[in-house]
Amino acid sequence: MLRQDRTGRVAIAPIERGRPGAGLLAHVLVNKYADHYPLYRQSQIFAREGIDLDRSTLGGWIGQTTKLLEPLADAIGRYVRAGQAIFADDTPLKLQAKKKCATARIWTYVRDERPWASADPPTAWYKFGTDREGKHPTSHLGQFKGWIHADGCTGFNDLFGTEDVHEMVRMAHVRRKFVDIFQSQGLEIAEEAIKRIALLYRVEKAVRGKSPVERAALRQTDAAPVLDDLEIWLDAQLNRISGKSELAKTIRYALGRMKKMRGYLENGFLDFNNNCAERSIRCVALGRKNYLFAGSEGGGKAAAIAYTLIETAKLNKVDPQAWLTWVLAQIADHKITRIDELLPWRCAASAA
Q: Report helix, strand and coil shares of the chain as percent, to nearest 5.
A: 60, 10, 30
Q: What is the pLDDT of residue 348?
A: 59
Kindly provide the b/e burial profile for residues 46-58, where b requires at least 16 CB atoms within 10 angstroms of the residue's own CB: beeeeeebeeebb
Q: What is the pLDDT of residue 177?
A: 95
Q: Give the tens place of pLDDT for each residue, 302-312.
A: 999 999 999 99
First to last CA, the chain: 32
- Measured CA to CA, the distance from residue 97 to residue 101 in angstroms comes to 5
Q: What is the pLDDT of residue 163?
A: 85
Q: What are the two backbone dihedrals, phi and then psi, of residue 335, each rounded to the nearest 5 degrees?
A: -65, 130
The reported pTM is 0.91
Going through the chain in order, the beta strands assigned E by DSSP cover 2-4, 10-12, 85-95, 102-111, 123-129, 146-149, 165-168, 293-294
pLDDT in tens, the chain (352 residues): 444 444 444 456 677 666 789 999 999 999 999 999 999 999 999 999 999 999 999 999 999 999 999 999 999 999 999 999 999 999 988 887 666 778 889 999 999 999 999 999 999 999 998 888 889 999 999 889 999 998 766 678 888 877 899 999 888 889 999 999 999 999 999 999 999 999 999 999 999 999 999 999 999 999 999 999 999 999 999 999 999 999 999 999 999 988 889 999 999 999 988 888 889 999 998 888 887 677 788 889 999 999 999 999 999 999 999 999 999 999 988 999 999 999 999 875 555 4
